[in-house]
Amino acid sequence: MDAIPIRAARRGDVPSLLLLWAAMVEENARLDPRLAVHPDAKEHMARTLAGWVDDPHRVVLVAEEHGRLVVGFAAGQVLAGNGLQAPARLGEVTDCYVVPARRRRGAGRRLAARLLDLLAEKGAEAVRLQVVAKNAAAQAFWTSAGWEPLEEVLEKPVAKGAPPAATSRP
């Protein structure tokens, strides 16, 4: 089985990137309905992805099968650190997705590894990403690639129409 080639995304890939992004967020929303996207999200993301492809500060890669079929993508950027903690230059994986029918062929690992290399070339001292808590497959993928948990994001819904929480006064 031949490895699926990885290359930099081009403007012409934006429609495929949008389809992959939509599949990714829909997969995560099935796992946790709190992650359902806003009705205008696809329109917003189409513009965003086009901007990412043209942005020299970002990295967008695609896994392309048979020289024309985009079956996965990864995106990231390098940002200044928060000034309170190391590192001073922090890479961020914003997206990484491979269509389910093409998984377990190494495309995800190759996308992630190439993205990590390119973010390091752009000055990242460390790279972080967020993984959906209920996406066990994604958790296992990143853990098996050597990534370790750093923080957890907790959420609690706020009751509509609830009065503001009482504050104590001295």
Quick count: other Cβ atoms within 10 Å of Cβ 66? 9
Question: How many separate helices (H) and strands (E) can be counted in the chain?
Answer: 4, 5
Instruction: Classify domain 6-144 at the CATH superfamily level.
Output: Gcn5-related N-acetyltransferase (GNAT) (3.40.630.30)
What pTM was computed for the model? 0.86
Strands 126-129, 89-98: pairing is parallel
Q: Which residue has the tokens 């392309």?
A: 64
Contact of 131 with 30, CB cutoff 8 Å: no
The dihedral through the CA atoms of 134, 112, 58, 118 has a sign that is: positive
Contact of 21 with 95, CB cutoff 8 Å: yes
Give the chain's residues under pLDDT 50.
none
pLDDT tens-place string over residues 4-36: 899 999 999 999 999 999 999 999 999 999 999
- DSSP helix/strand/coil, 2: coil
pLDDT at 82: 74
User: How far apart are the C-alpha atoms of 117 and 76, rounded to whole Å?
Assistant: 11
Beta-sheet strands, E only, within 66-114: 69-80, 89-98
pLDDT at 134: 94
Q: Percent of the chain beyond pLDDT 90?
A: 66
User: Omega of the bond prior to 157 within 30 degrees of 0, cis?
Assistant: no
